Amino acid sequence: MSDAVLTILLRAAATGQIIIAVLATQMPRILHWQDDIARMSLLVREVFLIHKFFLAFTLLLFALLTWRFAPEISAGGNPVASWLCGGISLFWGIRTVFQWTFYSPDHWRGKRRETTVHWTLTFVYGSWCGLYLLGALR
């Protein structure tokens, strides 16, 4: 794969991660979790909200670092870029595995829209894992 193509793919992944980061902050509204969150104990609710914030913040950092250093990652030979990509690849690889091993299939099986989302996320997260692994191995 050429450096130019890899740079474009990395920037596309960065854009996708920004979208996921924004969506992460809106999940309670999108999935109608407000009542469930309100029933949580104060400590559990606070931990949930802090984790939601830091997940979005982490994804935003991944995206910004990827966007800024995509040409350097694509060129290869930079140990910091390789380690960064390796870490992000591991993050998305674990997330892909959790898509299938942590969530109950009852959430999506037999439901067209939810199944589409489930498979789309599996494909996107798995693709990002592979893309960052490619960047790590350059």
Element (H, E) at 65: helix 42-75
Counting beta carbons within 10 angstroms of the beta carbon of residue 12, is it exposed (0 to 12), middle (13 to 18) or buried (19 or more)?
Answer: middle
- Looking at the whole model, is its pTM more than 0.75? yes
Residue 25 and residue 53 in contact, taking contact as beta carbons nearer than 8 Å: yes
- What pLDDT shows up at residue 1? 86
Mean of pLDDT values over 106-123: 94
Q: Is 73 left (phi over 0), alpha (psi -120 to 50) or beta?
A: alpha
CA separation for the pair 13, 11 (Å, rounded): 5
CA separation for the pair 11, 127 (Å, rounded): 13
Whether the pLDDT of residue 109 is over 90: the answer is yes
Mean of pLDDT values over 107-125: 94
- What pLDDT shows up at residue 134? 97
Helix (H, G, I), strand (E, B) or coil at 115: helix
CA separation for the pair 26, 35 (Å, rounded): 15
Helix (H, G, I), strand (E, B) or coil at 40: coil
- What pLDDT shows up at residue 9? 98
